[in-house]
Chains A and B, each alone.
Chain A
Amino acid sequence: MKKLLLTTALAALATGAQAEVKVGMITTLSGGGAGLGLDVRDGFLLALAQSGRDDIELVVEDDQQAPDIAVQLSDKMIQSERVDVMTGIIFSNLAMAVIPSAVNQGVVYLSPNAGPSQLAGRGCHPNYFNVAWQNDNLHEAAGAYANTAGYTNSFILAPNYPAGQDALTGYKRMYQGELAGEIYTQLGQTDYAAEIAQIRASGADSVFFFLPGGMGISFLKQYADSGVDIPVVGPAFSFDQGILQAVGAAALGVVNTAQWSKDIDIPVNQAFVESFSAEYGRLPSLYASQGFDTANLLISALEKADPSDNDAFRAALRDADFESTRGAFRFGNNQHPIQTIYAREVVQEGDVFTNRIIGVALEDHADAYAAECQMP
């Protein structure tokens, strides 16, 4: 990382150009969620390198997935580094700790992953852009997919914390059938035997779960071993490239929802998948695609305006005049994406587990909070 920074700086020196734009990235590079942050960072760096621009200086810091450290780093970025643009935060609770205060201090924030509802509705802000999704989106898509798949009796579960509560709300917003059961699990829980037994006894025809990170791995392994064969639906988080290899065959055939997949057949995406794999020796994940798109959005706006001209820069960002790896991409009034969300299925290619698109779950979908946002 340090090396890459250095090369950009050297390049800047060589051309005699002053680094004009300073971007601060606070992301999770250590702790349980480090895989996500690494992917966002690497996707972002890849896009910067491909743009060939040497006037963008990127400062990367590790938030250790701790809100108070994220806040401290944000103070450092704004007070000491004096960045123009910030990005990188993975987790909603960290986002809520950093973003409101940062955008109020005049920094433009581009979210490559977290999209808490508070920032999409009444708390929307002209300096805040979400390039991934509003948190509910993928859950809503899962609910919509459950309807098309003909499920009428879902068992739903998520950890007992705000993102988990939002997940179940999001699913229920679109899903039209009955609920066979609804459970909140413990955050960080590793054993799901009790929940699986309840699922088995519930008579459900489908299971929806949102269990990010290690929780999802544990759940899927135990679910596959339990012999319960009720089909499972979930948002992409537990089926993404980074953790699928750790879940293994237990995930095969599971349908999950995402706004991106490596088999979206458009040139920009195929080029991204190829160059990412070549550069880093692993397949890109959802998070990598989001990091990549975030950087490209930023570059597209920089082509049109200078960050010092705040209004013009924000207008250029709102245009979203870039080629997204997920195809069509535009912002709604609350500066959150309006996009298509796909249903994917986990498949095995050779000895690698990955996803394949099986259909569209929601077409041109905006989030449920946009109407509450006062911005036009």
Chain B
Amino acid sequence: MSTILIIEQVLNGLQSGVMLFLMAAGLTLIFGVMGLINLAHGSLYMVGAFAAAAVAGVTGSFLLALLAALAAAAAAGVLVETLVIRRLYAADHLDQVLATFALILIFSEGTRLIFGSFPLYLDIPSWLSGPVTLPGGIQYPLYRLALIGAGLAVALALWVLIERTRIGIQIRAGENDREMIAALGVDISKLYTLVFALGAALAGLAGALVGAIQSVQVGMGEPVLILAFVTIVIGGIGSIKGAFVGAILVGLTQTLGSVFLPVLFRLFLEPATAMSLGASLANMAVYILMSLVLIFRPAGLMGARA
């Protein structure tokens, strides 16, 4: 296995990691500030992808499609927050799990009702398509590089937002002490809606960005949702930094596990068994990673509260 291939796989892991971060950041923010477990976060991802595909289909513009994804997901977020979610902040986790599970059912079936059962078309814009040659002679798709760039840019923007702005102060206050926000004279319910919309928009953006290289279909958010949960649990729930570290870890584990585990097993098993066993273990790798993290650090890598 050549160095070039390994570098390329690391890039791939990084790319899926930063996209996962977009999902995980919203999820962890919503939990950190409002204490809410939002299973419907994957539905917002799906909403973003469908909005992007619909707008790209009409206008042909990828940028407009991304804007539409952000807007649609944020709007869906605001709608859901005001109608349902805000009644759940005081409820226990059990009620939150059930209510947002119900929202998944409604979102999925509703999307099917509107868009039908066939996958939609969303493609990479021509100005981002095709491979580029990186130093060292690595051929790598430009779009995936753009995804890495976009993901890191969003991470940076989030950091600035939270550490350097007035809203960020309020959000951090919300994570630590609810009474303090009230003392700061902040309208709590507005802040909560804003945070939820922000998380939703990030999920929608991820859905649109990833939708261009995947299949835009009903149910596309569920596998990502579970991975995003694994991510924030590994990172420590409520911590944006943890979400970032967790996302990169999960992305790398998944990508590198699926490539190298079969190779590893081939050293001491016959090829067919090695391939099958390696593939199964690669499927389980992130869950094993998460269990190990929790067994040794029950509040995640960067979790403050137990």
Contacts and interface: CB of A to CB of B under 8 A. Distances in A.
Given A34-B112, A200-B139, A221-B123, A186 B283 contact: yes
Given A214-B217, A246-B119, 13 more contacts: A29-B117, A30-B112, A186-B279, A190-B214, A197-B5, A198-B259, A213-B215, A217-B214, A221-B213, A225-B131, A227-B139, A249-B123, A250-B123
Given A160-B276, A186-B282, A194 B121 contact: no
Interface in B98-154: 109, 112, 117-121, 123-124, 129-131, 139, 141, 143-144
B120 to A, nearest CB: 6
A184 B143 contact: no
Contact of A214 (B16, B215, B271): B215
Contacts of A245: 118, 121
Interface magnitude class on chain B: 35 or more
Interface in A217-260: 217-218, 221-222, 225-227, 242-243, 245-250
A246 B279 contact: no
A182 B275 contact: yes
A246 B121 contact: yes
B209 interface: no
B255 interface: yes
B213 A31 contact: no
A217 B5 contact: no
Given A183-B275, A186-B282, A225-B141, A201 B2 contact: yes
B28 interface: no
A267 interface: no
Nearest to B218: A32
Contacts of B213: 191, 218, 221-222, 225
Interface string A173-214: 000000000111110101101110110110000000000011
Contacts, number: 122
B119 A185 contact: no
27 contacts: A32-B217, A34-B117, A160-B276, A183-B279, A186-B258, A186-B279, A188-B223, A190-B215, A191-B255, A194-B12, A194-B13, A194-B259, A201-B5, A215-B215, A217-B214, A217-B215, A218-B213, A218-B215, A225-B124, A225-B131, A225-B143, A226-B141, A227-B141, A245-B118, A245-B121, A246-B120, A246-B217
A191 B147 CA distance: 13
B124 A30 contact: no
Interface string B274-296: 01100110110000000000000
Contacts of B262: 183-184
Contacts of B121: 245-248
Contacts of A194: 9, 12-13, 255, 258-259
A159 to B, nearest CB: 9
Nearest to B216: A246
Contacts of B130: 225, 227
Interface of A is mostly: helix
Interface in B210-261: 210, 212-220, 223, 255, 258-259
Interface in B1-36: 2, 4-5, 8-9, 12-13, 15-16
A30 B279 contact: no
Contacts of A225: 124, 129-131, 141, 143, 213
Given A186-B282, A218-B214, A248 B123 contact: yes
Nearest 6 pairs of A and B residues by beta carbon: A227-B131, A214-B215, A34-B117, A217-B215, A193-B12, A184-B279
Contacts of A100: none
A31 B118 contact: no
Nearest to B11: A193
B4 A201 contact: yes
A248 B212 CA distance: 11
Nearest to A222: B213
A227 B9 CA distance: 16
B52 to A, nearest CB: 13
Nearest to B1: A201
A225 B12 CA distance: 14
A26 B262 CA distance: 38
A193 B131 contact: no
Nearest to B255: A194
A35 interface: yes
Contacts of B219: 31-32
Interface string A9-35: 000000000000000000001111011
Contacts of A370: none
Contacts of A200: 139
A38 interface: yes
A246 B259 contact: no
B259 A184 contact: no
